């Protein structure tokens, strides 16, 4: 029976979530997952091979970097597809063309098209496709059908064995590397960088930002091994141990207009570098398009400030490094009397590192959780946060209610910061009427 409603289409996509399937640092298991999506794409006619694409990997800043590359390409008159994950409020956010989420009707049609491929799939050899696999195939098919000029593809996890590794990118883009998903990517920065470096391809330019020495060495070695020119998106003066490639000359200051936070300048420099490298691949992205796209690029839930009083800051920082950068940006850019922290995380995150970066600066801390299977238990979060807190913790299980408690506690000159998870960020946006879940 064909699927006829949007909810039924979502139910079908989510029916492939397998809570018993866990990521693994074992390369053989990871390679098997890559073989599975490769086989499913082959059954679908290999749509990814008919796209000109940029692939973006990294620990943090991937989504913002994708948004800025997309905006610059679109400002140049190109038709641009965008694949990202996870979504904040609607699954349709994951598959966009010219920043318009895929329509419910088109998603229904894509699910009906992919369903027979899944039913005929060689499960005995490859295993059952995942929800992510199915979404990726639908996105690639959607972009081909729409005849996009460029696809901007965000890596879901890692890079070497991610679905995006099936693509030979025109430019491989790697944002800042830090500790996250260590149970899958490995315990060291070298291990994590090795996974991210897997998107670099022979003869195709790659670009990254200044990295810590062990990560920079991995990217330089990978580029040399596969025969790819490696570029560095950096300030004019860079310490040699940070460098992993040749510096680029920029036509304008890398200052995004709508994406706030000092850390976004690094992402902007990286995105601008990718746009400049796309010129060498035949795309006419001129300096004016770069400036206009950078000024207009937008990515919700990332240092998103809602005017008050009190002001509310929503940010998806979900590891220690991103939490540290979040606090640095708050301290530099958002004067306030007191900070009220609304914090919820996912089970696989280093809660202590997040708490160490933010909790000492908070006058009030409210622990909450998103309504997502990966959300961390409230008691566990509280136990991890308490050693870093200067105030008693409040536990409010629902994000919307936690936000209401924070607003009741806050004075007009205070700042409410909602963070720790993109799922929490999405729930906060919905509670404030900035988005509607579907």
pLDDT in tens, 182-234: 677 778 999 999 999 999 999 999 999 999 999 999 999 999 999 999 999 87
State what percent of residues in the chain have pLDDT above 70.
Answer: 95
Looking at the structure, tell me whether residues 88 and 172 fall in a common domain: yes
Looking at the structure, tell me whether residues 213 and 310 fall in a common domain: no
| Number of helices and strands in the chain (H, E) | 16, 15
Among the candidates 267, 296, 325, a domain finishes at 296
The string of pLDDT tens digits covering residues 280-317 is 899 999 999 999 999 999 999 999 999 989 999 999 99
For residue 166, the 8-state DSSP code is G
Asked if residue 436 belongs to a domain, the reply is no
Asked if residue 438 belongs to a domain, the reply is no
Looking at the structure, tell me whether residues 318 and 257 fall in a common domain: no
The Cα-based distances of 347 to 160, 351, 381, 387 in angstroms read: 24, 9, 9, 19
Asked if residue 437 belongs to a domain, the reply is no
Looking at the structure, tell me whether residues 351 and 414 fall in a common domain: yes
Q: Are 146 and 102 in contact (CB under 8 A)?
A: no
Domain extent at residue 406: 304-431
Asked if residue 133 belongs to a domain, the reply is yes
Distance CA 254, CA 269 (A): 5
Among the candidates 296, 316, 341, a domain finishes at 296
Asked if residue 1 belongs to a domain, the reply is no
Average pLDDT over residues 101-122: 97
Asked if residue 124 belongs to a domain, the reply is yes
Question: Residue 327: CA atoms inside 13 Å, Cβ hemisphere, count?
Answer: 20
Asked if residue 134 belongs to a domain, the reply is yes
How many of the other CB atoms lie within 10 Å of CB of 102?
22
Taking Cα atoms as reference points, which of 93, 175, 170, 165 lies closest to residue 135?
A: 93
Distance CA 168, CA 158 (A): 16
Distance CA 435, CA 438 (A): 10
Looking at the structure, tell me whether residues 424 and 387 fall in a common domain: yes
* 351-358 vs 320-333: helix crossing angle, rounded to 10: 20
pLDDT value of residue 324? 94
Domain of 365, CATH number, reads: 3.90.190.20
- Which strands form 339-343's sheet, in the order they lie side by side? 304-306, 311-314, 415-419, 339-343, 364-369, 393-398
Looking at the structure, tell me whether residues 181 and 99 fall in a common domain: yes
E-state strands within 68-119 = 80-83, 95-97, 100-101
Average pLDDT over residues 102-123: 97
Domain of 22, CATH number, reads: 3.40.1190.10
Taking Cα atoms as reference points, which of 365, 363, 355 lies closest to residue 405?
A: 365
Looking at the structure, tell me whether residues 267 and 345 fall in a common domain: no
Looking at the structure, tell me whether residues 310 and 290 fall in a common domain: no
- Scored b (16 or more CB within 10 A) or e, 187-197 reads eebebbbbbbb
Asked if residue 328 belongs to a domain, the reply is yes
Looking at the structure, tell me whether residues 186 and 110 fall in a common domain: yes
Among the candidates 276, 296, 316, a domain finishes at 296
Domain count, the chain: 2
Distance CA 140, CA 382 (A): 41
Looking at the structure, tell me whether residues 292 and 308 fall in a common domain: no
The string of pLDDT tens digits covering residues 144-185 is 999 999 999 999 989 999 999 999 999 999 999 988 776 777
* Total length of the chain: 438
Distance CA 358, CA 326 (A): 8
Q: Are 363 and 389 in contact (CB under 8 A)?
A: no
Give the pLDDT band (50/70/90) at residue 241: very low
Looking at the structure, tell me whether residues 10 and 31 fall in a common domain: yes
pLDDT value of residue 373? 82
Looking at the structure, tell me whether residues 153 and 252 fall in a common domain: yes
């Amino acid at each position: 029976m064909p699927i006829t409603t949007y909810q039924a289409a979502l139910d079908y996509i989510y029916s492939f979530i397998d809570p018993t399937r866990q990521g693994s640092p074992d390369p053989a298991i990871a390679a098997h997952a890559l073989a599975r999506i490769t086989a499913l794409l082959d059954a679908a006619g290999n749509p990814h091979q008919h796209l000109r694409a940029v692939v973006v990997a990294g620990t943090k800043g991937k989504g913002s970097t994708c948004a800025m590359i997309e905006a610059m390409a679109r400002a140049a008159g190109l038709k641009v597809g965008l694949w990202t994950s996870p979504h904040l409020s609607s699954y349709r956010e994951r598959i966009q063309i010219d920043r318009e989420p895929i329509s419910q009707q088109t998603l229904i049609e894509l699910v009906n098209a992919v369903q027979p491929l899944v039913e005929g799939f060689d499960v005995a050899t490859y295993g059952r496709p995942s929800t992510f696999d199915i979404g990726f195939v639908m996105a690639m098919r959607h972009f081909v059908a729409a005849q996009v000029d460029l696809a901007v593809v965000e890596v879901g996890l890692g890079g070497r064995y991610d679905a995006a590794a099936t693509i030979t990118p025109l430019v491989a883009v790697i944002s800042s590397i830090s500790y996250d998903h260590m149970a899958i990517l490995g315990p060291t920065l070298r291990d994590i960088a090795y996974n991210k470096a897997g998107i670099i391809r022979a003869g195709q330019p790659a670009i990254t930002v200044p990295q810590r020495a062990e990560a920079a060495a991995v990217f330089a070695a990978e580029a040399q091994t596969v025969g790819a020119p490696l570029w560095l998106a950096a300030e004019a003066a860079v310490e040699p141990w940070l460098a992993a490639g040749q510096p680029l000359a920029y036509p304008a200051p890398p200052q995004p207009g709508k994406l706030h936070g000092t850390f976004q300048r690094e992402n902007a420099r990286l995105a601008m570098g990718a746009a400049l490298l796309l010129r060498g691949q035949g795309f006419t992205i001129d300096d004016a398009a770069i400036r206009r796209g950078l000024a207009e690029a937008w990515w919700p839930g990332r240092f998103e400030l809602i005017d008050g009083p009190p002001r509310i800051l929503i940010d998806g920082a979900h590891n220690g490094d991103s939490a540290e950068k979040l606090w640095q940006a708050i301290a530099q850019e958002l004067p306030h009397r007191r900070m009220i922290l609304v914090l919820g995380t996912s089970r696989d995150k280093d809660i202590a590192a997040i708490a160490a970066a933010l909790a000492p600066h908070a006058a009030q801390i409210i622990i909450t959780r998103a309504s997502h299977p990966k959300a961390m238990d409230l008691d566990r979060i509280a136990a991890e946060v308490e050693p870093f807190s200067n105030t008693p913790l409040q536990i409010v299980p629902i994000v919307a209610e936690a936000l209401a408690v924070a607003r009741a506690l806050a004075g007009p000159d205070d700042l409410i910061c909602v963070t720790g998870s993109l799922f929490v960020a999405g729930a906060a946006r919905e509670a404030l009427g900035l988005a509607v879940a579907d």
